[in-house]
Amino acid sequence: MSNTSHEVAQGPHHTSGAAPTALSAHSIDKKFPGVLANDSVDFDVRAGEVHTLLGENGAGKSTLAAVLCGLYQPDAGYLIRNGKRINLSSPRAGLQHGIAMVHQHFRLVDRFTVSENVILGSRDLPYRLIRREIDEKVAAVAESYGLPIDPEAIVGTLSVGQRQRVEIVKALYQGAEILLLDEPTAVLVPSEVEKLFENVHAMTAAGKSIVFISHKLGEVVEISDRITVLRNGRVTGHVSGRGTTDTKELARLMVGRDIELNSQRATHAMGHEVLQIRDLSLDVDDVAVLTDISFNVRAGEMVGIAGVAGNGQRELADTIAGLISPTSGSITISGAMTTDRGPIAAREVGLAYVPEDRLGVGLVPSMSIIDNLLLTRNRQTVVDRFSVRPEATRLIEQFEIKANGPDHLARKLSGGNAQKVLLARELSGGRTATRLLVVCSPTRGLDVGAIETVRRILNDARSAGQAILLISEDLDEVLSLSDRVLVLYRGAVVHEALGEAAELSQVGAAMAGLSSQSH
Amino acid sequence: MMHIPFRVVFEQRGETPRRLSLIVPLVSVLAALFFGALFLLATGYSVFDTYTNMFKGGFASFNGITDTLALSTVLICTGVSAAFAFQMNLYNIGGEGQLYLGLIGGAWAGIALGDHLPSLIMVPILLICGALAGAAWIFVPALVRSRLGTSEIVSTLLLTYIGASLIKHVIYTPGSFFRNPNTSFPQGRRVADSASLDSFGSSRLYPTFFVAVVVAGALYWVVKRTEFGYRINVISDSPRAAHYAGINSRRTTMMVMSISGALSGLAGAMLIVGPYGKIEPSIITLGYGYAGIVVAALARNNLAVIIISGILFSGLRVGGNNLQVTTDTPIHIGVMLQGAILLFALGGEAFRRYHIHIVRTQTQPNIKMSA
């Protein structure tokens, strides 16, 4: 593998800005058992700029971010903050130097108000808290960066985008000058992303430095002043300038080869209706999670369900798979009613289900590939692993799974290979031949190479005449793969479009609940 | 502020190296013996004599080894009881109480059936009745655990105290079915002769030892090879995966806990068909059920390894108790050594799970920035 750090465009030294370097990292090494997560990585961010760390999952960007904010201590290398060498023994030490991280998974207390969350962990609080003063102070900080937020709101009632704002306000309140945003757009709808980018501009205008961590090329090009690309723990390129960047070149730096993600929709014949859902409703604790959902999926058709996380996608998938009993309505798979019959009955008429959580739901982490193949199949009283072995070996080959054979433990597989094992098991049938595949977020967290393979597998399954229900938060994925797109918002289908005719803006608006079309 | 030039870092191991699984227990035992030696020196007893006497009393004499195996018969059963529940991350802390019920169940069958059946039928009936009584004692904890998620730790433990009272009740209440009617002194009524096994030769070891070994081996096989064991493994690793695959966790929980209770009950019944022949109220002071938890922990809940840890632990106990018979060493020295060995053996776990290293924290000179 080439380890030459190579520069595109103008190289790392910006010509326009004379802004001083706020934080720099020099030849950072960080080892984990078996992996060199960071291999002499150099990185720097100036005041008032957005410097992006771009890379696939496992490229080492989160590790570097963790080193920058004091969560990890590097094995070699050092940090310079405002011209002085610093040692960060903890995130608190990082905060004292004005460095704060906004994590992908929020670290907020749901029952607390916004203000209470913001001051949580502050050391210099007065003995007696005067709520009104704190609320005012929090509101003032928020507003100065164009982050309007109600300090008295209970965090548990806020939307995901608002919670992220609370995290950012918290960092700013604590005096952060350098904010590390870890995959901040992963959980947001398009309109919220726009809003976030406005906030980022407001912060850089005020002289804050933003380290933006992402693997999404489009948004990276839009927001960044500079981009550093990481692959396998090494810096593979620096790219400067906003909007002028060649995304193909970035993708190549990221992956190390040319890639083609826009899988073409094959034209194909569709057969009879495999999945029929009629007036499906689900209440959980008297709260409507799914309301009056009706749709069909035909053999050889891929129907995509778009929507922001938490709008009923998981419950819809679980209900179809027989894991949850609906409050009303019916589910028919291959002509057989499976409502209320449980997961095994659904599988017996050809259901296959790839859940969102691979390890821990779809796969048993501590078990071998063989044992995981047995999970959804008929098992004899004395489990016969010997006869499954040849099939396991064949599937490992067919699905290009990187494993040391059928005894490889599921938890030691990479995310992509775990997903391939899951798809291999579900598509190869067990109790009966697979007719309907329900698949949730199939490529989330995978590297680009694995995404390519997984999408190809799904396309092949559709061409083979299987009905596929694709549920994903990745809107691009849903739009590029599906024959038909449904948008789920607050548990109801609020928008429907044919794959080719679906417009990003309309689907995006429907996801955010701004749809004019109502059911 | 004082500068400490190093700090100790615990880093979790991804995978425990195989050789450590052997080295750590060995070093743990040596460290415990060394610790015990310091203690013995400080109290003025001979280190060498104490250790050789302990070893002789526990293993290296006819009476020693047979007494050890006799005790291990019970401890293997209670150990397997604790470890089997633990296969599904269930903590059956109440093996002690289930053992009392096993005693009562076994004694009941042994007295009620009278001396009509041959031993070959009678003894299995006693063992089954003891096991059923043990299973019955855990029924309510199992039910509320599987239906409502109520902590089985608390419920099984508290039932032990009720079990102890029950033992006292059936022995000390005048006219009780289980009480010997011919003596005014409260003691248990003997079971039928056909329900009592003979020990081997002049030893106190009974054939039930082999039953215990076979039971441990059989359950090891069940967990590794059968569908039931597969379900247990899926549920213990990821309950959500079990739900996804349509595995009924409630039923499996009920079954695993019932079997766990039955095993402790079996241990109690083994005492009836073996050394006791009647309910001995002193059983509530011996803690065989609790010792099973320790035996299971020493074997890291491996059902087959429990055969070994059960024998070793029994040897330690028999040898320790033997000290005060053969020497003038007080029994507490033996108990202290047992404790030390257990503590070190379990503490050694940390070295298996964590990579421990010492990191120097040097004060670093400031480096001038180059423009």
pLDDT tens for residues B113-141? Answer: 999 999 999 999 999 999 999 999 999 99
**Nearest residue in B to A382, CA atom:** B226
User: With an 8 Å Cβ cutoff, is B250 touching chain A?
Assistant: no
Whether residue A397 lies inside any domain: the answer is: yes
Long-range pairs of A378-385 with CB within 8 A, sequence gap ≥ 24? A378/A430, A378/A431, A379/B227, A379/B230, A380/B227, A381/B226, A381/B227, A381/B228, A382/B225, A382/B226, A382/B227, A383/B225, A383/B226, A383/B227, A383/B229, A383/B230
CB nearest B226 (choices: A34, A323, A381): A381
Question: Between A512 and A388, whose confidence is greater?
Answer: A388
Domain identity same for A304 and A392:
yes
Average pLDDT over residues A311-317: 91
User: With an 8 Å Cβ cutoff, is B89 touching chain A?
Assistant: no
Whether residue A287 lies inside any domain: the answer is: yes
Domain identity same for A249 and A282:
no
**Nearest residue in B to A363, CA atom:** B241
As a whole number of angstroms, the distance between CA B36 and CA B329 comes to 14
Domain identity same for A186 and A164:
no
Question: Between A16 and A331, whose confidence is greater?
Answer: A331
Query: Which strands form A287-298's sheet, in the order they lie side by side?
Result: A287-298, A273-284, A328-333, A336-337
Residue B193 DSSP code: G
SS3 B262: helix
Q: Given this model, what pLDDT does residue B275 score? A: 94
- Whether residues B240 and A357 touch (CB distance < 8 A) is answered with yes
Number of H helices, E strands in chain B: 14, 2
Q: Which of B238, B250, B370 is the best substitution to test chain A (most A C-beta atoms within 10 A)? A: B238
Over residues A344-395, the pLDDT tens digits come to 999 999 999 999 888 899 999 999 999 999 999 888 899 989 989 999 999 9
Q: Given this model, what pLDDT does residue B321 score? A: 85
- Whether residues A367 and B233 touch (CB distance < 8 A) is answered with yes
Q: How far is B87 from chain A (nearest CA, A)?
A: 13
User: What contacts B339, CB < 8 A, 6 or more positions away?
Assistant: none
Over residues A242-255, the pLDDT tens digits come to 665 677 777 778 87
- Whether residues B240 and A383 touch (CB distance < 8 A) is answered with no
Average pLDDT over residues A448-461: 88
Domain identity same for A348 and A441:
yes
Confidence band (pLDDT; 50, 70, 90) for A18? low
Over residues A119-139, the pLDDT tens digits come to 887 777 778 888 888 899 999
- Whether residues A375 and B364 touch (CB distance < 8 A) is answered with no
Average pLDDT over residues A397-403: 89
Q: Which of B16, B89, B230 is the best substitution to test chain A (most A C-beta atoms within 10 A)? A: B230
In sequence order, what DSSP letters do the residues of B88-150 get, joined into one string?
TT---TTHHHHHHHHHHHHHHHHHHT-S-S-HHHHHHHHHHHHHHHHHHHHHHHHHHHHHH--
Domain identity same for A239 and A379:
no
SS3 A142: helix
As a whole number of angstroms, the distance between CA A44 and CA A37 comes to 18
**Nearest residue in A to B240, CA atom:** A361
Give strand ranges (E) for chain B.
6-12, 354-360
As a whole number of angstroms, the distance between CA A438 and CA A320 comes to 8
Q: Using an 8 Å CB-CB cutoff, list chain A residues near B13.
A: 33
Over residues B279-302, the pLDDT tens digits come to 999 999 999 999 999 899 888 899
**What percent of chain A clears pLDDT 90, i.e. is strictly above it?**
45
Whether residue A104 lies inside any domain: the answer is: no
Q: Using an 8 Å CB-CB cutoff, list chain A residues near B234.
A: 364, 367, 375
As a whole number of angstroms, the distance between CA B163 and CA B156 comes to 10
User: With an 8 Å Cβ cutoff, is A358 touching chain B?
Assistant: no
In this prediction the ipTM stands at 0.84
A181, β-bridge pairs = A102, A212
Q: Which of B87, B225, B228, B244 is the best substitution to test chain A (most A C-beta atoms within 10 A)? A: B244
Whether residue A84 lies inside any domain: the answer is: yes
Q: Across the A/B interface, how many CB contacts are shorter than 8 Å?
A: 73
Q: Which of A401-405, A506-510, B106-110, B249-253 has the lowest mean pLDDT?
A: A506-510
Question: Between A122 and A312, whose confidence is greater?
Answer: A312
Q: How far is B214 from chain A (nearest CA, A)?
A: 18
Domain identity same for A39 and A163:
no
Flag whether pLDDT at B371 surpasses 60: no
Which structural domain range is residue A150 located in?
110-174
Confidence band (pLDDT; 50, 70, 90) for B215? very high
Query: Which strands form A302-306's sheet, in the order they lie side by side?
Result: A351-354, A436-440, A467-471, A302-306, A484-489, A492-498
Pairing type for strands A6-7 and A234-240 reads parallel
- Whether residues B364 and A78 touch (CB distance < 8 A) is answered with yes
User: What contacts B253, CB < 8 A, 6 or more positions away?
Assistant: B88, B90, B142, B145, B146, B235
Whether residue A150 lies inside any domain: the answer is: yes
Q: How many CB atoms are located within 10 Å of the residue B341 CB?
A: 22
Instruction: Provide the domain count of chain A.
Output: 3
Q: Given this model, what pLDDT does residue A268 score? A: 63
Whether residue A103 lies inside any domain: the answer is: no
Q: How far is B289 from chain A (nearest CA, A)?
A: 30
Domain identity same for A41 and A167:
no
Whether residue A478 lies inside any domain: the answer is: yes
Domain end position, chosen among A156, A174, A192: A174
Q: Using an 8 Å CB-CB cutoff, list chain A residues near B241.
A: 360-364, 375
**Nearest residue in A to B246, CA atom:** A343
- Whether residues A367 and B225 touch (CB distance < 8 A) is answered with no
Whether residue A266 lies inside any domain: the answer is: no
Domain end position, chosen among A228, A255, A282: A255
Average pLDDT over residues A267-291: 87
For residue A372, which of B347, B245, B167 has the smallest C-alpha distance? B245
Q: Given this model, what pLDDT does residue A57 score? A: 72
User: With an 8 Å Cβ cutoff, is A361 touching chain B?
Assistant: yes
Residue A265 DSSP code: P
Residues 314-343, chain A, touching B (beta carbon < 8 A): 321-323, 342-343
- Whether residues B244 and A353 touch (CB distance < 8 A) is answered with yes
Domain identity same for A197 and A137:
no
- Range list of H helices, A328-405: 342-348, 369-374, 389-398
- Whether residues B246 and A353 touch (CB distance < 8 A) is answered with no
- Whether residues A344 and B246 touch (CB distance < 8 A) is answered with yes
Flag whether pLDDT at B171 surpasses 80: yes
Q: Given this model, what pLDDT does residue B370 score? A: 40
Q: Given this model, what pLDDT does residue A262 score? A: 54
Q: Using an 8 Å CB-CB cutoff, list chain A residues near B240.
A: 357, 360-361
- Whether residues A323 and B243 touch (CB distance < 8 A) is answered with yes
A175-179, A433-437, B73-77 — most confident range: B73-77
Q: Using an 8 Å CB-CB cutoff, list chain A residues near B230.
A: 371, 374, 379, 383
- Whether residues B225 and A80 touch (CB distance < 8 A) is answered with no
CB distance A436 to A333 below 8 Å: yes
- Whether residues B234 and A367 touch (CB distance < 8 A) is answered with yes
CB nearest A375 (choices: B226, B240, B245): B245
Domain identity same for A183 and A327:
no
User: With an 8 Å Cβ cutoff, is A362 touching chain B?
Assistant: yes
Confidence band (pLDDT; 50, 70, 90) for A9? very low
Flag whether pLDDT at B365 surpasses 60: no
User: With an 8 Å Cβ cutoff, is B367 touching chain A?
Assistant: yes
Q: Given this model, what pLDDT does residue B87 score? A: 95
User: With an 8 Å Cβ cutoff, is A86 touching chain B?
Assistant: no
Q: Using an 8 Å CB-CB cutoff, list chain A residues near B364.
A: 78, 85, 87
Domain identity same for A246 and A328:
no
CB distance A9 to A227 below 8 Å: no
**Nearest residue in B to A34, CA atom:** B14
- Whether residues B367 and A347 touch (CB distance < 8 A) is answered with no
Domain end position, chosen among A210, A228, A255: A255
Average pLDDT over residues B177-198: 92
- Whether residues B364 and A347 touch (CB distance < 8 A) is answered with no
**Nearest residue in A to B355, CA atom:** A33
**Nearest residue in A to B238, CA atom:** A360
CATH number of the domain where residue A32 is located: 3.40.50.300
**What percent of chain B clears pLDDT 70, i.e. is strictly above it?**
95
Q: Given this model, what pLDDT does residue A5 score? A: 41
Q: Which of A114-123, A203-212, B277-286 has the lowest mean pLDDT?
A: A114-123
Domain identity same for A170 and A231:
no
Q: Given this model, what pLDDT does residue A2 score? A: 41
CB distance A212 to A135 below 8 Å: no
- Whether residues A383 and B225 touch (CB distance < 8 A) is answered with yes
Flag whether pLDDT at A241 surpasses 70: no
A218-222, B18-22, B23-27, B117-121 — most confident range: B117-121
Flag whether pLDDT at A519 surpasses 70: no
Distance of CA B170 to the CA centre of its chain: 26
Domain identity same for A474 and A426:
yes
Q: Given this model, what pLDDT does residue A248 score? A: 73
